[in-house]
Chain A
């Protein structure tokens, strides 16, 4: 009975859902439209639910850090939970698009996240200075392509030396695109294999932790 509830019913649900959604995507079978719309809307609701679930999990994890006074962590946990309460409280009381909430977002989270992302430029510059050196053939190739890309992306340099645009275009269209295609096709084949394993009930990772007996199946 336990095996039926924990393994076979979930796998059955996944198989039936996948077959319906995939049939609609690939074959446009008449009559399945409303059912697929309902299923995808359930998907939206479920992912929205996971946001709330994540918030509860966050509280559970960080209140434990605070209770245990985890070294180097507990005061950050207090700050995190305080911010969650402030943002959630403001959003619930005034609305997530109110001027108060927008002000709070713009003057704290937005400013900080833009700053952190922008600061990458400094690390990258330092990294380029130290690592982009022609130590061997491979490094020389990286140096040449990297320098072309950097120079082409500087608008005034591209105007001064239009050949940079052609060189960058050739690199993008042939070298980058073909390499990227290889990666994408490889990943797609992996995804197809995972899909087939899931559809045939061989992939059970999404069921969470299983006992050895269940695993052996």
Chain B
């Protein structure tokens, strides 16, 4: 038996770089800014500024409905944004009421995690007076419709099972009309679009939405139509942290995003150079 071993050109090798090598490079570009933050500049996008201005313009005593609708997998992306926005809400001198619910079953646990990061007591905010979590409500859009129509008919206790009547924050909160703003963080399209159908359309509640970066294109038509004031991706958390002046995980990940995206652009260029070099040297079909 004879075997012919054709020597591979450098372009062949470059075209078929083993995925382990690509993974290793990505890991290096990921670890460097994590261990040693570079401090790249973070531009504030129109969407994030609009989001910030919307909360800033809320009159004193306004109630905000917040849906913690993301799952554990999406927490690294959406968690920092949720934390930064809570910092903004609590830092407002004229108090705002932050009433949270979850359309995701993991929501209450992730909310606890976010609250531990925010530490509301540093702003003098108290549970039951300035903020609350009324728990996971099953049913998706049915839950949104139900609490929009009559909140107390749908839920009677907070996420720990304590009656809502015992919390001063819940006084005067009856339905969607009691809220001046709706915020949704979600990893699910049903939730982000559901709030448009169940709250914006019938009650015209101003709506801010933060989703996974890959979901943003799906939500853009709603923003363009004015049904959502601002759609942001969790990857923009660094921008919100700059605005609220509380640098945390978002800023760190902004460095990581820049470094890894640069690497990806490098990969695209390299892959195309290898492809065309091979083609013009007669090595390609």
Contacts and interface: CB of A to CB of B under 8 A. Distances in A.
B271 A133 contact: yes
B17 interface: yes
Contacts of B282: none
A interface, how many residues as a size bin?
A: 35 or more
B72 interface: yes
A147 B71 CA distance: 29
A134 B146 CA distance: 51
A75 interface: no
Contacts of A33: 149-150
A154 interface: yes
Interface string B22-62: 11001000000000000011110100000000000000000
Interface stretch (B82-90, B120-128, B177-185, B257-265): B257-265
Contacts of B267: 125, 128-129
Task: Bin chain B's interface residue count.
Answer: 35 or more
B275 interface: yes
Contacts of B271: 129-130, 132-133
Contacts of A158: 43
Contacts of A15: none
Interface string A65-98: 0000000000000000000000000000001110
B173 interface: no
Interface stretch (B2-10, B108-116, B163-171): B108-116
Nearest to A169: B46
A114 B73 contact: yes
A170 interface: no
B272 interface: yes
Given A113-B73, A133-B272, A155 B238 contact: yes
B95 interface: no
Contacts, number: 166
B67 interface: no
Contact of A159 (B43, B71, B73, B160): B43
B contact face: mostly helix, strand, loop, or mixed:
helix
Contacts of A181: 221
A117 B140 contact: no
Contact of B137 (A44, A130, A165): A44
B149 A36 contact: yes
Nearest to A110: B72
A184 B217 CA distance: 12
Contacts of B106: 105, 110
B145 to A, nearest CB: 5
B74 to A, nearest CB: 7
Nearest to A182: B221
A109 B72 contact: yes
Interface of A: 25, 33, 36-38, 40-41, 43-44, 46-48, 51, 95-97, 101-102, 105-106, 109-110, 113-114, 116-118, 121-122, 125-126, 128-130, 132-135, 143, 146-147, 150-151, 153-159, 162, 165, 172-173, 176-177, 180-181, 184
8 contacts: A37-B149, A40-B139, A105-B72, A122-B23, A151-B265, A155-B40, A165-B43, A180-B221
Given A147-B265, A181-B221, 20 more contacts: A37-B150, A40-B142, A40-B149, A43-B139, A44-B142, A95-B160, A102-B112, A110-B75, A113-B71, A114-B72, A114-B75, A122-B22, A125-B264, A126-B22, A129-B270, A133-B275, A146-B268, A153-B257, A157-B262, A184-B221
